[in-house]
Structure 1
Amino acid sequence: MFENLTERLDGVFRKLRGHGTLTEENIAEAMREVRTALLEADVNLQVVKEFVASVTAKAVGKEVLTSLAPGQQVIKVVYEELVSLLGTHSESLRLDGRQPVVIMMAGLQGSGKTTTSAKLARLLKEKGRKPFLVPADVYRPAAIEQLHVLGEQVGVPVFASSTAQKPADIARQAEAQAVAAGYDTVILDTAGRLHVDEELMAELQEISRAVSLSEVLFVADAMTGQDAVTVAAKFSADLEITGVILTKMEGDARGGAALSVKQITGRPIKFVGVGEGLDALEVFHPERAASRILGMGDVLSLIERAEKVVDEKKAQQLASKLRKNTFTLEDFLEQLQHIKKMGSMEQLMSMVPGINKLRQLKDAPQPSQKELLKTEAIILSMTRTERANYKIINASRRIRIAKGSGTSVQEVNRVLKSYALMLKMMKKISGKSAVVKDGQRRKLPKGLRR
């Protein structure tokens, strides 16, 4: 999501690092470019002014201008200010105290409240909670049915409400049922509007009086940029929201909402939606987001995503196959499918440290979701025998595979060539059970070989 902003800031910092020494003039010029980059990313004007003023004040300090690497020091200052802007640290839900805790989801129509309610229920269930989904949107057609379907998909019970009921009555009755059934978390999916109006606010306030709310989470579409921040400020003033969930963060939004909402509302971003799947809701970490914006990657999030989709036993089996050089195209296909579950290639690549430098190289490979899907289609078009032994794939088989996958023979050749090179590389790595000493290749002691 922050790709354009990352590229712009990277250009600014490259210029700074090019100066042997920094002056107030160098920094002032850089801050003008940072200001433009933030405004183009749809960050709130007041937030931009305060951010640039704060960075400038710290960047022209004696410890920066006289440091051995002033350019790096400025980047450090920008990173720290970005973390502060985004919220300093991740904020967890208030789940202690009186049980069941009641969480109300609020926001405009189309922001993704219903799907996000189910995603949140799934996340809490994974953490050992007993969530109870409550459809309190009695206006939107099929809203109640939608939550029942989603509840079934995530394995979470759903309250049986109807369009004839008032939302406040639904909340009250659902809370009583949760107490009786032993559910510890009630998630209220409320109605939205196309825009903020008094009727909507009055209804939400009535719900808040009917039940004791632990959290009021404002759900906003990150794609709407500054509009989302403006609406969040209105909700925060009238409803005292406790946190924000930004949806569609995996899209091509410029990032303005994420960079502005905490500063404008005073409320933290607690979760972000990073995909359409019901498992695509993540805790928001300001320091990780700041690291990604500055092109430093986000290895921790990458590891966490991998841990969700990779079974430890299968990972050990894969490691064994790599060591024994028996890694087939069937195994390769399985790994591609794991990668797909982790998110789009663009998302994953943005988490890799130094990825911007790779993108700037003309001949460097540029992995994309399209290429990933194409590779998967090519392997799926092979027979099991071909996947087990790629060497039998002759010219006629390649033509058949290309037709079956909707690709060209050249693309099939490229996949097979890449796979063969990978096997060769793995063989070299596994062959390092030997060491070189005094120009002689010697075997390691048996107990130390892998």
Structure 2
Amino acid sequence: MAFEGLTERLQNAMSKLRRKGKITESDVRDAMREIRLALLEADVNFGVVKDFVKTVRERAIGSEVLESLTPAQQIVKIVDEELTKVMGEEAVPLNKAPHIPTIIMMVGLQGAGKTTTAGKLAYRLKENEHGRPLFIAADVYRPAAIDQLQVVAQQVGAPVFQLGTDVDPREIVRQGLAQAAENKNDYVIIDTAGRLQIDEKLMQELADIKELAQPNEILLTVDAMTGQNAVNVAESFNQQLDITGVVLTKLDGDTRGGAALSIRAVTGKPIKFTGQGEKLTDLDVFHPDRMADRILGMGDMLTLIEKAQTDYDEKKANELAEKMQENTFDFNDFIDQLDQVQKMGGIQDILKMMPGMNNVPGLDKIQMGPKEMGHMKAVVYSMTPSERTNPDLLNPSRRRRIAAGAGRPIQEVNRMIKQFKESRKMMSKMSNGNFAGMDQMFGQGISGRLGKMAMGSMVRKQKKQKQKRLKQARKRRK
């Protein structure tokens, strides 16, 4: 996953400071040296690293920091703020036209995921804003480019305007815009041609399309896995086309993440979205502050809550909260939970969004992909209906039968049942406001407090909702 190496190095540097009661300028210099190496290894632009380290050092050696009661936490806060500043400070929304259609021009090199990103963006606009997007197929050079766009558009449920591969892209765009005006489409997404590398002919064609279409957005799709080269590509496209924003793709791949920390500082243009997966839903608004928190291992509760709100059935969530409070959570609920987790992404990604979880030993060894989830479901489906609703019935002979039915070792079945029972106890305690043992889950310090605050907030919300329902029920009875 992106930033794992960088997160580990930065956390090591910060933990050394935390272990010291009093911090000297020498300690700060040592920490800055480690941070500098960590950023360079993550493929962050050298100039960006130099300016970042200089700013952090100057702020960190101030007397109000070194002489404070918690100098280590103050320095973590400074690093967090400066990382956020480097990446743009706040999320930048799409530019919208004062009248329809809003025209979005997608540009980028071949293989960066431009067409897929166009589909994800259209899906987002359609689902979140009830927009009616139209695709214009202006890539007439890459084999099957139009076919790929049509497949993506069919999944989105949006039309494609195309004139084949023998018509000049400029003419395709001109006629496509005329059709959008006639059909009153809210958004037009122009899928332009890419190249394996930047060349003069490509740039001239894109410049002509820009002049013709007068787009509200020119979004450059950049492959995060190309590291420092992603920044060079962004810089070249920006010089030629004056792009309005960047979409960083493949952040879920084996990437060091340096592009996200460099693009804004080098080009002055914001990262607007990030792509982290193949599904149409895998496009997220880029929040610099949340990304900085994740890089420092402080979690990202806001994104986690947003994912839950998007993918979670509110009625089921309320029912689940009640079951947790009453300690009646059973294996049927467990299966529902597995399905929800799969919708929200892998369990590892969800855990890493929780404050302090990056510090939990063995988290990187947790394996919970589709295969492992399939095994767990097989175990539950091998139980009788009464066993699923009452796990206390699962004596040794029943467990042997379940293991044989699921085709899994008896040790795996025993371990899963034990973990289920322990989890149920913890959920019951937390839902009733008992946070004993939460230090082990969230840790101490800033990230620990954030985790407890977030969990406490969710529990309080659940209690208020329950009290409101009880009050309404009493009114109805009267």
TM-score (norm 2): 0.84
Query: Structure 1: which amino acid aligns with 2:269?
Result: R
Residue identity in the other structure for 1:283? V
**Structure 2, gaps ≥5 residues long:** 435-466, 471-478
SS state of the match for residue 130, structure 2? coil
Letter in 2 for 1:18: R
Partner of 2:59: 58
Instruction: Tell me what 2:114 maps to.
Output: 113
Q: 1:448 to 1:314 in 2, by over 3 A?
A: closer
Q: Is the 8 A contact 1:250 1:347 kept in 2?
A: no
Of residues 173, 186, 193, the one that matches 1:184 is 186
Q: CA deviation at 1:397?
A: 6.0
Structure 1 equivalent of residue 441 of structure 2: none
> Structure 1 residues 29 and 322, CA, compared in 2 at 3 Å: closer, same or farther?
closer
Q: Which residue of 1 aligns with 2:133?
A: 131
Pick the aligned partner of 2:356 from 350, 354, 357.
354
Farther off after superposition, 84-93 or 400-409: 400-409
Q: Mark the CA change 1:193 to 1:406 in structure 2 (over 3 Å): closer, same or farther.
A: farther
**Counterparts of 2:421 and 2:380, CA distance in 1:** 14
In the TM superposition, what is the alpha-carbon distance from 1:327 to its structure 2 partner? 3.0
After superposition, what is the alpha-carbon deviation per residue over 1:376-395, rounded to whole angstroms, capped at 9, x for unaligned? 34334556565345456566
Matched ranges for 1:66-81 at <5 A: 66-81=67-82
The residue aligned with 1:329 is: 331
Superposition pairs of residues 382-421 of structure 1, within 5 angstroms: 382=383, 386-390=387-391, 398=399, 401-402=402-403, 405=406, 407-421=408-422
RMSD, matched Cα: 2.6
Q: Name the aligned partner's letter for residue 369 of structure 1.
A: M
**Residue 236 of structure 1 corresponds to which residue in structure 2?**
238
The superposition leaves residues 161-211 of structure 1 with CA deviations (integer Å, 9 ceiling, x where unpaired) of 311222211211111111111111101111211111112111111111221
Q: Tell me how far 1:28 sits from its aligned partner.
A: 1.2
Q: Using the alignment, how far apart are the partners of 1:294 and 1:431 within structure 2?
A: 31
Correspondences of 1:32-181 after superposition (within 5 Å): 32-125=33-126, 126-181=128-183
1:338 is matched with: 340
Show the 5 A alignment for 1:194-343: 194-343=196-345
Amino acid corresponding to residue 218 of structure 2 in structure 1: V
Q: Sort the Cα spacing of 1:167 and 1:385 in 2 relative to 1 into closer, same or farther, 3 A.
A: farther
2:214 is paired with a residue whose SS is coil
| More deviation, 408-417/75-84 | 408-417
Distance 2:275 2:251 in 1: 6
Tell whether the 8 Å contact from 1:89 to 1:287 is kept in structure 2 after alignment.
yes
- Provide the C-alpha distance between the structure 1 equivalents of 2:302 and 2:427, rounded to a whole number of angstroms: 25
> How far did residue 429 of structure 1 move?
7.0
Q: Distance in 1 between matches of 2:338 and 2:142?
A: 39
Quote the Cα distance in structure 2 between the aligned partners of 1:233 and 1:449: 56
* 1:349–1:355 Cα contact (<8 Å) kept: yes
Amino acid across the alignment from 1:176: A
The letter of the residue matching 1:191 is A
1:251 shift after superposition: 2.1
Counterpart residue identity of residue 237, structure 1? Q
Shift in Å, 1:326: 4.1
Per the alignment, residue 456 of structure 2 pairs with none
**Counterpart of 2:3?**
2
Q: 1:250–1:274: 8 Å Cα contact kept in structure 2?
A: yes
Query: Structure 2 counterpart of 1:236, which letter?
Result: N
Distance 1:406 1:251, change over 3 A: farther
Alignment of 1:2-41 (within 5 A): 2-41=3-42
The amino acid of 1:224's aligned partner reads: T
Whether the aligned pair in 2 keeps the contact of 1:169 and 1:210 (CA below 8 Å) is: no
SS in structure 2 of the partner of residue 94 of structure 1: coil
Tell me the distance in 2 between the aligned counterparts of 1:245 and 1:262. 12
> Once the two structures are aligned, what percentage of the paired residues are identical?
51
Secondary structure of the residue that 1:26 maps to in structure 2? helix
Distance (whole Å) between structure 1 residues aligned to residue 413 and residue 311 of structure 2: 27
Q: Is the 8 A contact 2:101 2:181 kept in 1?
A: yes
Distance 1:156 1:18, change over 3 A: same
Distance (whole Å) between structure 2 residues aligned to residue 41 and residue 263 of structure 1: 16
1:424 is displaced (CA, Å) by 4.5
> What is the CA deviation profile of residues 305-324 of structure 1, one whole-angstrom value per residue up to 9, with x for unaligned ones?
01111111222232344445
Amino acid paired to 1:417: K
SS at 1:369 equivalent:
coil
Amino acid at match of 1:17: R
Report the Cα offset of residue 367 of structure 1.
Answer: 3.8
Deviation at 1:432, TM superposition (A): 9.2
Matching residue's letter, 1:81: E
Distance 1:69 1:424 in 2: 35
Q: Which moved more, 1:21-30 or 1:175-184?
A: 21-30
What CA deviation, in whole Å up to 9, does each residue of 1:133-181 have, x standing for no partner? 2222112222212222211212222223311222211211111111111
Alpha-carbon spacing, 1:253–1:365, altered in 2? closer, same or farther (3 Å) = closer
- Provide structure 1 residue ranges, at least 5 long, that are not aligned to the other structure: 434-446
Deviation by residue 1:81-110 (Cα, 9 ceiling, x = unmatched): 101111111000111324211101111111
